[in-house]
């Protein structure tokens, strides 16, 4: 049940709890480590509790990232992890499991010495998330770790369980006094306590509000770190650097010069072993509501005054609030959805979605969605943003393409050039991270014939690497108390506000099957129709 006070408008950015970020001067006093944070800053000591530690996320992302952070001296000496799950593991068994995960996924090779030093901080508590005695054992373990490894009462609680357990865990932490409500202006009694929550935050606006409300009953917004791992990607952060640290682009970043934008998040993978989750989620909930609207807000927001927590998040929320949710009756004109059928990926035959494990043979869950959104503000009036994401596309690629307008007059017609392609700026998020600019150049020779050429910046070539895994950046930020790259409550709820009408309209349609697209293609025909109707075409990245 959603508490009555939550049914109403989206919370305003002026809500007190959202703005308890301290003044810069004050923050230096309470958290000196944040000042001048660089690649080599070390996080303060803390104990990290991972709920759902036996899951995929821990073995593929969390543990390898923590190991890499430890090996690059980003974690304090006493840093400790207490894993919690239902499995009946001892500390030793837990360590062995984690070693296998780290060996398979970490960047730093595992040697016996390195592993021994890391593993000495790994502990395990077994139990059900609704079992009171588990929280007692956890509390005792935390006290022990604080004493023996000098973690100073600093605690990071990470919810890596299926979302259905979130509220139970949060309530139990509160009831058993394992977390206390803190804000920046009151010195904590023991150490700092923070809650890290994985997406999805709800599966619609009402359930997102319910979860946010449950969290707000136990901790303050400044203690909540909602992970959207796209924000941890170097290239996503670089999109902000590109816009706001260069004088060249921002003046043309508006309706006077931009024709439209295309945001593509394509994956060649299918649903893998996540069928049960994906059946409930689908592409809109899994990718568009979170990662893609984050990308949109970063490329469309106004410049924040400073690059810090609420200043950046205020701007992101402002632009999301200007997005016009596709109106119910016309959702069909603003969206295209589809489901992959059997096909070929990299030369291999792959099954269709309905034939995958844990998927209903009559499933109507979308594995592809394209959506046209308009932003109703001064900067972006009449500039469409086309978003598309899908599984089993020809390749894995995430990019933001900014298509500029045509030149107003072409003076080279007499010389044989009757048309030039408009400028296109592409921010390539992954893979081959980089930025490229398409422009017209003269073909060498005695005539004035023009051709489209590209100017490329490649992360790898310029910096020698494309950067650390997104989770490394986000985990360290959470330990350092920096919320800039985490989604705030109003951000998540505003995103649902955009998506809810689409989900409702689709549900009302009661279809028995979705348009199919062959695995290894760029989505259903309707996706092309969506953009071609406006006289534009999708890029083939």
Site membership for ligand BG6, residue 286 (CB under 6 A): yes
Map residue 214 onto helix, strand or coil: helix
Closest CA to 244 of 193, 180, 306: 306
Nearer to ligand BG6, 97 or 286 (CB): 286
291 in catalytic set? yes
- Separation of alpha carbons 206 and 224, rounded Å: 19
- Pick between residue 286 and residue 399 the one whose CB is nearest to ligand BG6: 286
**Cβ(429)–Cβ(236) under 8 Å?**
yes
Question: CA torsion sign, 165 to 283 to 230 to 251?
Answer: negative
Q: Which residue is nearest to ligand BG6 (CB)?
A: 286
451: three-class secondary structure by DSSP: strand
Q: Judging by DSSP bridges, how do beta strands 323-324 and 368-375 pair with one another?
A: antiparallel
CB of 425 to ligand BG6, least distance (A): 21
Residue 390 CB, shortest distance to ligand BG6, in Å, is 11
- The 10 Å Cβ neighbour count of residue 522 is 20
Q: Return the number of the residue (20 or 267) whose C-beta is nearest ligand BG6.
A: 267
x/- map, 365-404, ligand BG6, by CB under 6 A:
---------------------------------x------
Nearer to ligand BG6, 311 or 466 (CB): 466
Give, as ranges, the residues between 3 and 62 that touch ligand BG6 (CB under 6 A): none
Using CA atoms, how far apart are residues 94 and 80, in angstroms rounded to an integer?
13
Nearest-approach distance from CB 167 to ligand BG6, in angstroms: 20
Roughly how many angstroms between the first and final C-alpha of the chain, as a whole number? 44
By beta-carbon proximity to ligand BG6, the closer residue of 63 and 218 is 63
Is 179 or 345 the residue whose CB approaches ligand BG6 more closely? 345
Kindly provide the b/e burial profile for residues 420-435, where b requires at least 16 CB atoms within 10 angstroms of the residue's own CB: bebbbbbbbbbeebbb
Which runs of consecutive H residues, i.e. helices, occur in 382-485? 459-463, 470-480
262/398 with CB nearer ligand BG6: 398
- Size of residue set near ligand BG6 by CB under 6 A: 3
3-state secondary structure of 340: strand
Query: Strand, coil or helix: what is 348?
Result: strand
Least Å from the CB of residue 242 to ligand BG6 = 20
Task: For residue 421, give the nearest of 434, 399, 437, 400 by alpha carbon.
Answer: 437
Q: Which among 229, 260, 291, 497 is annotated as catalytic?
A: 291
Would strands 193-197 and 224-226 be described as parallel, antiparallel, or unpaired? parallel
Q: How far is the CB of 415 from ligand BG6 (least distance, A)?
A: 45
- Contact between 295 and 263 (Cβ < 8 Å): yes
Separation between Cα atoms, residue 243 and residue 300, nearest integer Å: 10
Tell which one of 56, 183, 267, 432 touches ligand BG6 (CB under 6 A). Answer: 267
User: What is the distance between the alpha carbons of residues 409 and 152, in angstroms, rounded to a whole number?
Assistant: 67
CB 286, min distance to ligand BG6, A? 5
Q: Which positions from 215 to 254 touch ligand BG6 by CB under 6 A, shown as an x/- string?
A: ----------------------------------------
Task: Quote the least distance from Cβ 74 to ligand BG6, whole Å.
Answer: 21
Catalytic positions, written as ranges: 291
Positions in the binding site for ligand BG6 (CB under 6 A): 267, 286, 398
């Amino acid at each position: 049940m959603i508490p009555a006070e939550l049914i109403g408008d989206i919370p305003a950015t002026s809500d007190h709890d959202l703005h308890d970020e301290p003044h810069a001067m004050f923050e230096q006093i309470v958290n000196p480590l944040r000042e001048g944070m660089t690649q080599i800053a070390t996080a303060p000591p803390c104990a990290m509790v991972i709920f759902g530690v036996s899951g995929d996320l821990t073995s593929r992302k969390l543990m390898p990232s923590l190991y890499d952070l430890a090996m690059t001296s980003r974690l304090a000496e006493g840093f400790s992890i207490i894993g919690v799950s239902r499995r009946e593991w001892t500390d030793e068994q837990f360590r062995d499991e984690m070693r296998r995960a780290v060996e398979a996924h970490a960047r730093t090779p595992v040697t016996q010495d390195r592993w021994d030093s890391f593993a000495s901080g790994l502990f395990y508590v077994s139990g059900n998330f609704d079992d009171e005695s588990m929280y007692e054992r956890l509390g005792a373990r935390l006290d022990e770790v604080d004493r023996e490894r000098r973690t100073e009462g600093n605690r990071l609680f990470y919810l890596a369980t299926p979302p259905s357990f979130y509220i139970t865990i949060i309530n139990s932490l509160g009831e058993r006094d394992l977390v206390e409500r803190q804000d920046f202006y009151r010195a904590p009694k023991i150490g700092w306590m923070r809650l890290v929550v994985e997406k999805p935050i709800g599966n619609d606006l009402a359930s997102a509000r319910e979860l946010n409300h449950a969290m707000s009953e136990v901790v303050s917004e400044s203690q909540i770190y909602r992970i959207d791992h796209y924000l941890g990607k170097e290239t996503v952060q670089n999109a902000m650097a590109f816009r706001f640290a260069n004088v060249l682009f921002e003046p043309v970043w508006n309706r006077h010069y931009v024709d439209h934008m295309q945001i593509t998040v394509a994956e060649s993978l299918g649903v893998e072993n996540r069928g049960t989750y994906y059946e409930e989620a689908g592409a809109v909930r899994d990718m568009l509501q979170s990662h893609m609207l984050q990308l949109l807000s970063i490329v469309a927001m106004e410049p924040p005054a400073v690059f810090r927590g609420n200043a950046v998040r205020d701007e992101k929320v402002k632009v999301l609030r200007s997005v016009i949710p596709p109106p119910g009756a016309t959702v069909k004109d603003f969206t295209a959805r589809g489901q992959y059928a059997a096909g070929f990926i990299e030369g291999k035959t792959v099954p269709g979605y309905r034939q995958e494990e844990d998927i209903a043979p009559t499933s109507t869950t979308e594995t592809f969605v394209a959506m046209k959104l308009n932003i109703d503000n001064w900067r972006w009036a009449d500039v469409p943003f086309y978003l598309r994401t899908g599984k089993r596309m020809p390749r894995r690629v995430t990019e933001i393409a900014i298509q500029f307008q045509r030149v107003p007059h072409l003076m080279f017609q007499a010389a044989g050039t009757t048309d030039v392609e408009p400028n296109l700026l592409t921010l390539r998020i992954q893979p081959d991270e980089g930025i490229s600019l398409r422009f017209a150049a003269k073909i060498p020779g005695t005539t004035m014939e023009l051709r489209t050429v590209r100017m490329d910046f490649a992360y790898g070539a310029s910096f020698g690497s494309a950067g650390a895994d997104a989770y490394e950046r986000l985990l360290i930020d959470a330990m350092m108390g920096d919320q800039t790259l985490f989604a705030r409550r109003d951000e998540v709820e505003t995103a649902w506000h955009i998506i809810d009408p689409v989900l409702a309209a689709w549900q009302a349609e009661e279809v028995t099957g979705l348009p199919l697209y062959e695995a290894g293609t760029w989505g259903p025909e309707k996706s092309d129709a969506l953009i071609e109707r406006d006289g534009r075409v999708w890029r083939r990245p």
